[in-house]
Structure 1
Amino acid sequence: MSRPAIAYINLNHLRHNYRLLTQRSTGASVMAIIKANGYGHGQALIAPVLLAEGCRHFGVTDACEGAQLRKLLAAAGSGEESTIAMLAGIYDKEDAGLATAHALTPAITDSAQIGLLKEAGFHGSVWIKIDTGMNRLGAEQPQLLIKQCHDSAIAVRGIMSHLACADEPDHPMNRQQAASFSSQCRQIDPQLPRSLLNSAGIITMPEEAGDIVRPGLALYGIEPLPAMPVGLKPVMTLTGAIVQVRNIPAGASISYGASFTARQPMRIAVVSLGYADGLPRGLSNKGQAFLRGQTLPVVGRVCMDYTMLDITGTDAEQGDYVEFWGENISAGDVAGALDTISYTLFTGIGERVTRLAV
């Protein structure tokens, strides 16, 4: 490892979160969503642990992610027994070929996708994705899609939709979407398995669990509703090393644009983590890091490769690793300070950051 930038991935916390979510799923099976490289945590670290915990349903974005995951699961001893849902469906012939070769389960929204699967010789199963109010992806003629699947010897795994406002438990859309989903499923085929709930939905609408729930961010330890915590534990702790300690005089500026000027002599740390690693530039002059019980303010602009911290009056020294979020600084709090969501933090972690299981 040449660059001292590490995202520690706590696998015991992952196990805890999966077990907790399974318990709260009121008998429904759990489809673990590990798209976008396991939400930035490292699919290769996350998938085998969930598999060992008994998870047999996984969700990814597309065929490329699905093919990679199938290889990981096979190496972990799963073979073909686990299902891998492609939540974005398929885009072209290559996707259809990958879905066929790796026994993937695409989420289908239109007839053209079934045509591509038929041309590829696909005889597996598909999800039918319907819209219940989010107005993103959704089949406009689901009964027709099911007929085309039957005519093409393609099995229908079930019907799914997605909640738009589940992290706002009192939002009227939640009940409207649940009612729409239930009504559409009855009209389409009341015997088909159903999947509606995401992480927040599992907590706020357990009575709508259906047959399969699809937790994503909650698996990684973020409480979907901070006002209603359920005991999830953070899986990722993002750290960088202090690579140099500097003493600067009063009146000296720090980093690009001279946006910070020392009002008195200061001791600063240069840390090996910047926006190319996934540390948001928006933390310039307002973020903080954690070291041995103390918070260390970010001073100056976050650079591509480095971030400077005020370590005046502390025992911080070269070689120390500081935490930017994880066990001691909540990723949710960092995201809130930036007016964004934790998803953007995790999925923004760059490839040059080492993911290290602990």
Structure 2
Amino acid sequence: MMNHTHDAHEHHHHHDHGVFHIHAPAGKMRSAFFLTALVLAVEVVGGLLSGSLALLSDAGHVLTDIAAIGLSWYALKQAERPSNQRMTYGYHRAGILAAFLNAITLILIAIWILVEAYRRFQTPETVQPIWMFISAGIGLVINLSMGLTMHGSDNLNVRSAVLHMLGDAAASAAVIVGGIVIVLTGWYVVDPLLSVLIALLVAYGAWRIARQTIVILMEGTPLDVDLTTVADAIRSVRGVYNVHDLHVWTIASGRNALSCHIALDGASTITESQSVIREIEHRLLHLNIGHVTIQVEDQNHPHDQAVLCAASDSGEGHHHHHE
């Protein structure tokens, strides 16, 4: 007997997390896309006029910003599409794929910055600080305003786009500081030094995003969910003898799902088992799990006592036996 609940019934929908349009509607992403294109134009011109690698590397970063925000904009529109027979969970994972691609592009651009900075350490080049100030100042204002407007989202795809914006704002601030140092000291090597710091900042943030998206794409247990706590919460419900074949995964950022088999303590009517399931759903919502699928069994149903479903051939056979 399979008991399937969608987001733990209608009356619990206010618990649903990670709905894309709440934190960053597509309209905001569209505006961010065109503002970022303006920043790119300003920084490319400023970088060429000043000869600053820090500014040009920041312009390279802005180019990935445009791709990131464009992908996020696309993902937001995809997430609004309803589920269908081919995509039963809808299109929310489009955002996870976009976030992963964003992270990879950031890591690649960071490597390029490091290579170019190494070349400039060998042969420092003259830099014109005035154009650094103008271009970086414009980039700082625009990126900071966009990043702070969309900051605080629990959606991984939006967070990756915000990371681009705030990272670029920090890079622009560093370029301005570097320009001041060059004016006061004439120490042109500060320009590639800043580029290295920008690259490390970008790479660190990108790796964190990539790691989270990989866990989601591999159907791993969400980072904010402790499997032992989940199993204990299910066992603590009155009438539940044990739980096994327990799986928790993420459909998209903030949208966690669970499936499991529960053995009931003694004979139960359908009404009694539904009461148990509703109580389990309620407790799991407080553990940030909204989409729950439960198979109900009695204590005599043959199964392994392990909470996790075995990955071996014998485990698969056991799983089919349950079905």
User: TM-score, normalising length from structure 2?
Assistant: 0.27
Between structures 1 and 2, the one with greater strand share: 1
Between structures 1 and 2, the one with greater helix share: 2
Larger radius of gyration: 2
Q: Which has the higher contact order (CA 8 A, sep 6+)?
A: 2
User: TM-score, normalising length from structure 1?
Assistant: 0.25
